A = this chain, B = another copy of it.
Amino acid sequence: MATVIDGKAVAQTIRSEIAEEVRALSQKYGKVPGLAVVIVGNRKDSQSYVGMKRKACAELGIKSFDIDLPEQVSESDLIKQVHQLNVNPDVHVCGKKCMQSGILVQLPLPKHINEEKVLSEISLEKDVDGFHPLNIGKLAMKDRDPLFLPCTPKACIELLSRSGVSIKGKKAVVVGRSNIVGLPASLLLLKADATVTIVHSRTTQPESIIREADIVIAAAGQPMMIKGSWIKPGAAVIDVGTNAVDDPTKKSGYRLVGDVDFEEASKVAGWITPVPGGVGPMTVTMLLHNTLEGAKRCFEKNH
């Protein structure tokens, strides 16, 4: 039976470490990190994500700024807002000194706004989501380092390393090639010296490729696509999928499942993350970690 990686517990450990560092920063510089969280419109899921992020900031002593814009906001007004946040260095909130050192624009944006354009306008030094193409370029390139790693891929690597799974020289397979998870995860694994294969919707016989992997990162968005028989005995399986499937036995009428068939795979794998409670709680934690890292650079520079 696989060791089930407890994402909640790992996230809690890291959050304590971050809170400690925020306290140290506050003592040294007399101010705390600030994260501007921009949300456009009233999407229920986006509001729930943003709420989680703001709550997590508050718990760790990071000040979050709420910028709530209406659904109809124009692209140019949103970009103007981003530019203001880019230059905004020191702010006072409730008598507390704070430096707004990170900017997060919650995705997706309404259809009339070009996401790519907006994300490219965020100052590299404040791009805590790590989605700026220049950041991704540096992530891809050898001997270059991005200022921020995208949160979910960073969470996957952190879960592996904190579970004692070594990456160097291992065969890693990433299932999915999204800009947010699959692609940057494969670049991170490559930087960590894994031999990386990227499997996607056009791959024929993905099972035969996945079966060779010492490390599997599943980010395809396909409920329980990866069966137990697809897993190499002893492999480490990180399941990024969060899919709602009908379940009449639940009050809500649905339950969340990953891209991996957990029941089957946990009998074969060496390590596995559950859904929920695996990568999920780690992703917001990595955002907080990025915010802390950005703040440290920002405080140092403006000291």
Question: Could you list which residues of chain A lie within 8 angstroms of chain B, going by C-beta atoms?
Answer: 116, 132-144, 168-169, 177-179, 183, 187, 190, 193, 195-200, 202-204, 209
Contact = CB atoms under 8 A, between A and B. Distances in A.
Contacts of A183: 140-142
A178 B190 CA distance: 12
Nearest to A195: B203
A179 B140 CA distance: 8
Given A133-B134, A195-B209, A197-B197, A202 B168 contact: yes
Contact of A198 (B141, B179, B190, B199): B190
B169 A144 contact: no
Contacts of A195: 197-200, 202-204, 209
A139 B183 CA distance: 11
Prevailing SS type, chain A contact patch: mixed
A76 B141 CA distance: 24
A169 B209 CA distance: 13
Which 3 A-B residue pairs are closest in the complex by CB-CB distance?
A137-B137, A133-B137, A136-B137
A141 B202 contact: no
Nearest to A131: B141
A178 B202 CA distance: 26
A178 B134 contact: no
Contact of A137 (B135, B193, B202, B203): B135
16 contacts: A132-B137, A133-B134, A133-B137, A133-B138, A134-B137, A136-B141, A137-B139, A140-B140, A140-B183, A142-B178, A142-B179, A142-B183, A143-B179, A169-B204, A193-B202, A195-B200
A183 B136 CA distance: 13
B137 A140 contact: yes
A7 to B, nearest CB: 26
Contact of A141 (B133, B141, B197): B133
A187 B133 CA distance: 14
Contacts of A139: 137, 140
A104 to B, nearest CB: 19
A125 to B, nearest CB: 15
Given A142-B179, A195-B199, 19 more contacts: A116-B144, A133-B134, A133-B137, A134-B134, A134-B137, A136-B140, A136-B141, A137-B138, A139-B140, A140-B183, A140-B187, A141-B183, A142-B178, A143-B179, A144-B179, A168-B202, A169-B202, A177-B190, A197-B197
